[in-house]
Structure 1
Amino acid sequence: MSTFRPLRKIKQYIFDKPYKQGEVLNHRYRIEKVLGAGSFGLVYRCLDEGDGNIVAVKQLRPSLRRKEKERLFFQHEINILQYLNHPSIPTLIEFFEEKDQLFYAMEYINGENMAITIFEKKQKFTEKEALQFVRPLVDTIGYLHSNDIYHGDLRIPNIMIENNQPVLIDLGLAHCFNEKIIPKIAPKERIEKVDVEMLKQDDYFDLGDLLLFLLYTTYEGKTKKTLPWTEELFLQSGTTYLLRRLLGIDNKHTNVEEIVKDFNEAIKQLRK
């Protein structure tokens, strides 16, 4: 284990004290509770005293606020959210700085983090349920890609469930090549070295990995020997075909339209 990780945890414990319940941010957002703490930020549920709505406010960790790279990452996420308009991505309300701390307020997702659903509540997904749950995420990823944005961190903790539908959160590690969002400030030769196709395939792989994880929620191993998923899971041929392509085992998808087609075919097969 890296010696830097424990030191970072200690530093976060000392410096990254969350604001307390009842405190008001930006003369507007009264904190009701801390929703979570990630590697880069703290997230609060707040009452917007201006209009009475519930919002989420994200704060860059105080221990990172002096680091130019981390501030740029935070601003990068703000720039992306400010540009996007999609029902499965929280809407940015505003960003602000207070007492040398960086924040932004966004739409509150009235749902549950998928990590709680899976790891604490132990919810299981049938093959059909898993396909139907991940299917809307394909559209969200397609929307991002159409705007030259690649999420790069499509994991269970970065998905909320609202009205049984997935909402994609945390774009802090997203790669953006849309000049309307992020002006080109890097040298041309550096930009040209970025493998956009690899970033696209990484998002496709993450979709497949998420689908496979959900399919395993109903798996009950009958042997201690670890076998490939193709042998442990008894899936319809359409689902297997979809997974093999998403995971890059064979005949990788070249665009989101192909993925949508394969998802629809797999779901249709289960209806027969």
Structure 2
Amino acid sequence: MIERILPESEQGIQYTLHEIVGKGGYATVYKSYDSEGTEVAVKVHTLPDDASNHVQNVTVAHVASEVALLQKTNHPHVVQYVDHSVNKERPYIVMEYVPETLGDIVRKGKVTQSVVIDFIRQIPTLLALLQEYEIAHCDLKCSNIGYVDRTLKLLDFGLAIPFSDAVFRIMKNVPPYCPPEFFPVPSRFSGYGNIGIVKRSSDTFSAGKALEFMLTGTYAPSIGETMTNIKETHEKATLPKEFQDFLKVMVARESIQRARKASPDKLRNLADKAVKALGKKVIFKKKQPTGEEIPSGFSSLMDMLGLSPLSP
């Protein structure tokens, strides 16, 4: 158990780190408490002891940018900003504490039909919010989507950028849940090396991959095989056509197709149809496998989950 008190925040509050609940390449998230004992989450950016002034300044600027985006998105479907500090040695952001994510649910083997339906029903709203706030999240995955009282919450805006800045960014080691446009291509601009383009429909693709991960605990081997994998495994699992239609438009390879066919209104319409069809076609058994045990491919997973079609 960690009991470390951070330097005072911008609001003059001291926070005590309690335990690690998440860790990334640049920051660690702690379950923490303020001076009055209120439970919060604190994202502390990690800096080496010998970090130069330049590195410190860049990190502080990054924290300030993330804070600005969080302050802009005051909504029940977005993690709430609480406080922050731009202390150069230990900059941090304080947010509401979200005890469970969809990633936790997959890892624990607790993906049920109601969880899947909640995701399908609510994800169009989350994507519409990002567009309304002119934000590209750029890191939409199950572990960055909270699940509290059957409500989805967007978490971790560390890689998020305003659409006004989202012309392109250098991408390295692109995760499998990212859209094709994120994968690096040689740049025509001197000094930029390889670039990946951020589109308004990029987060839609990642949301579709998150749904795939919820059902399989894995991703298709490559972008080029995603649609083939989904089509084959959905047919074997007898998933309804409405569900397939919903997922296919989200993970369309071309961003322009996603923009046209998975706009907020169209996606809501497809989601409504998918939810209605799933209620008639698929049953999840109470006992679920753990996330680590879920094999690659829908067909094996469906056998393990005991999914079966209901009679018409």
Same fold per TM (> 0.5)? Answer: yes
Task: Provide the C-alpha distance between the structure 2 equivalents of 1:170 and 1:69, rounded to a whole number of angstroms.
Answer: 18
Alignment deviations for residues 203-239 of structure 1 (CA, whole Å, 9 cap, x no partner): 111121112222336xxxxxxxx97221222211111
Q: Secondary structure at the match of 1:153?
A: coil
1:54 aligns with 2:7: no
Aligned to 1:255: 263
1:43 aligns with 2:45: no
Aligned to 1:102: 91
**Aligned CA-pair RMSD:** 3.0
Task: Provide the C-alpha distance between the structure 2 equivalents of 1:201 and 1:130, rounded to a whole number of angstroms.
Answer: 21
1:73 aligns with 2:62: yes
Deviation, structure 1 residue 74: 2.2
Equivalent residue for 1:118, pick from 106, 118, 130: 106
1:85 aligns with 2:86: no
Q: 1:97·1:103 contact (CA, 8 Å) conserved in 2?
A: yes
Equivalent residue for 2:248, pick from 235, 241, 244: 244
Deviation, structure 1 residue 42: 1.5
Equivalent residue for 1:264, pick from 254, 268, 272: 272
Deviation, structure 1 residue 79: 0.9
Q: Secondary structure at the match of 1:89?
A: coil
Q: 1:131·1:211 contact (CA, 8 Å) conserved in 2?
A: no
Q: 1:30·1:47 contact (CA, 8 Å) conserved in 2?
A: yes
Deviation, structure 1 residue 199: 2.0
Alignment deviations for residues 172-195 of structure 1 (CA, whole Å, 9 cap, x no partner): 11121469xxxxxxxxxxxxxx99
AA paired with 2:215? Answer: L
Task: Provide the C-alpha distance between the structure 2 equivalents of 1:101 and 1:132, rounded to a whole number of angstroms.
Answer: 37
Q: 1:236·1:270 contact (CA, 8 Å) conserved in 2?
A: yes
The 1:249–1:104 alpha-carbon spacing in structure 2 relative to 1, beyond 3 Å, is: closer
The 1:212–1:166 alpha-carbon spacing in structure 2 relative to 1, beyond 3 Å, is: same
Task: Provide the C-alpha distance between the structure 1 equivalents of 2:39 and 2:67, rounded to a whole number of angstroms.
Answer: 19
Alignment deviations for residues 20-63 of structure 1 (CA, whole Å, 9 cap, x no partner): 415354252122222222112122222211x4321111111123
Task: Provide the C-alpha distance between the structure 2 equivalents of 1:147 and 1:79, rounded to a whole number of angstroms.
Answer: 12
Percent same amino acid among aligned pairs? 23
1:202 aligns with 2:202: yes
Aligned to 2:173: none
The 1:268–1:254 alpha-carbon spacing in structure 2 relative to 1, beyond 3 Å, is: closer
Task: Provide the C-alpha distance between the structure 2 equivalents of 1:24 and 1:77, rounded to a whole number of angstroms.
Answer: 19
Task: Provide the C-alpha distance between the structure 1 equivalents of 2:129 and 2:199, rounded to a whole number of angstroms.
Answer: 15
Q: Secondary structure at the match of 2:140?
A: coil
The 1:265–1:117 alpha-carbon spacing in structure 2 relative to 1, beyond 3 Å, is: same
Q: Indicate the larger mover: 252-261 or 143-152.
A: 252-261
1:156 aligns with 2:142: yes
Q: Indicate the larger mover: 252-261 or 149-158.
A: 252-261
Task: Provide the C-alpha distance between the structure 1 equivalents of 2:157 and 2:6, rounded to a whole number of angstroms.
Answer: 25
Q: Secondary structure at the match of 2:109?
A: coil
AA paired with 1:40? Answer: Y
Task: Provide the C-alpha distance between the structure 1 equivalents of 2:111 and 2:262, rounded to a whole number of angstroms.
Answer: 31
Structure 2: runs of 5+ lacking an equivalent: 166-194, 218-225, 281-312
Report the TM-score, using the length of structure 2 for normalisation.
0.64
Task: Provide the C-alpha distance between the structure 2 equivalents of 1:56 and 1:117, rounded to a whole number of angstroms.
Answer: 19
Q: 1:205·1:246 contact (CA, 8 Å) conserved in 2?
A: yes
Q: 1:46·1:56 contact (CA, 8 Å) conserved in 2?
A: yes
1:32 aligns with 2:18: yes
